[in-house]
Amino acid sequence: MSVLSIENLSIDYRAETTVHAVREVSLTLERGEILGLAGESGCGKSTLAYAITRLLKPPATITGGRVVFSSREGYDIDLSSLAGDDLRAFRWDKIAMVFQGAMNSLNPVLRISEQLEDVFITHRPELSKAERRSRCGELLELVGVDRNRLRAYPHELSGGMRQRVMIAMALALDPQVLIMDEPTTALDVVVQREILREITRLRSELGFAVIFITHDLPLLLEISDRIAVMRAGLIVELDDALTLYTKPKHPYTKRLLSSFPSLTGERGGFIRTGEVADVALDETDQTVEAG
């Protein structure tokens, strides 16, 4: 059963020259699934994420299609119909997002407790101060951070711990969909591994679905149930992770996979940096989908 359906979504950046950032993208996100979204910088990944959460700002404009959320309670919501208080209530409660560079998104002059509690003050005003503080401690422990860190300021935490705090903040209201835009890019490989383990563990425990956006295709192959490959605003291939790795169909996917060096085998068996971008656009216009 799908929790999110994207139907023929198109997004333009309107200026002197109109840029077609997303072109008739259709995707479904199944309940409890990790859907990877891969592609080079500038292909439209983050624009798509901002459109889903209704965070696009001018000159970005949705020119076609729609995004439909299917709740656990059995009703559907066309996100284009939401506005004002309804949109604000929906955005963190049903769909939450961990932004690119999120570990630097914390307010440097406020304690972690104040920033976590602000979510509950806004969305759960009926909770008492003691209940809010207790819930904040539970959230930190959920993502592997000691609750004593509630009184810390962001600069007193490591990069990995700040990222965990942002994930805790996104999970505060038990959302059904979590969108993660390059959540591990600025972290070293050891901390990346820890964060990825936490995400997969929390997904298993809490049952939310994840859209995980990154240019790092090998990372997605490890954690994703399905992967969508994006190029020049199009989804050029969509398949389960194993099939996409062993039997890629689209030329761009093949070259994207080949652009990462192997730890074994002869040297020179991978594409030089920048060659992936040379794939002709007319090749990417042919969408390849499983089945």
Q: Is the pLDDT of residue 205 over 60?
A: yes
* 11-20, 58-67, 275-284: least confidently modelled range: 275-284
Inter-residue contact 103 to 183 (CB < 8 Å): no
- The whole-angstrom distance between residue 246's C-alpha and the CA centroid of its chain comes to 24
The confidence score (pLDDT) of residue 265 equals: 60
The confidence score (pLDDT) of residue 104 equals: 76
Helix (H) or strand (E) holding 235: strand 234-240
Q: Which of 209, 170, 206, 162 is nearest to 187 (CA)?
A: 162
Count the residues in the chain: 291
CA distance 264 to 285: 33
Give CATH superfamily name and number for 2-94+175-289: P-loop containing nucleotide triphosphate hydrolases (3.40.50.300)
Residue ranges per structural domain of the chain: 2-94+175-289
Residues 6+ apart with CB under 8 A from 274: none
Q: What is the mean pLDDT of the chain?
A: 88
CA distance 2 to 32: 9
Going 166 to 169 to 171 to 176, the CA torsion angle's sign is negative
Residue written as token pair 């020179």: 268
Q: Which of 130, 204, 129, 195 is nearest to 168 (CA)?
A: 195
**φ, ψ of residue 36 in degrees (nearest 5):** -85, 140
Inter-residue contact 91 to 178 (CB < 8 Å): no
Q: Report pLDDT digits (tens) over 242-272.
A: 999 999 999 999 988 888 776 666 655 444 3
User: Global pTM?
Assistant: 0.88
- Single-letter code of the amino acid located at 65: G
Using only the alpha carbons of the chain, give its radius of gyration.
20
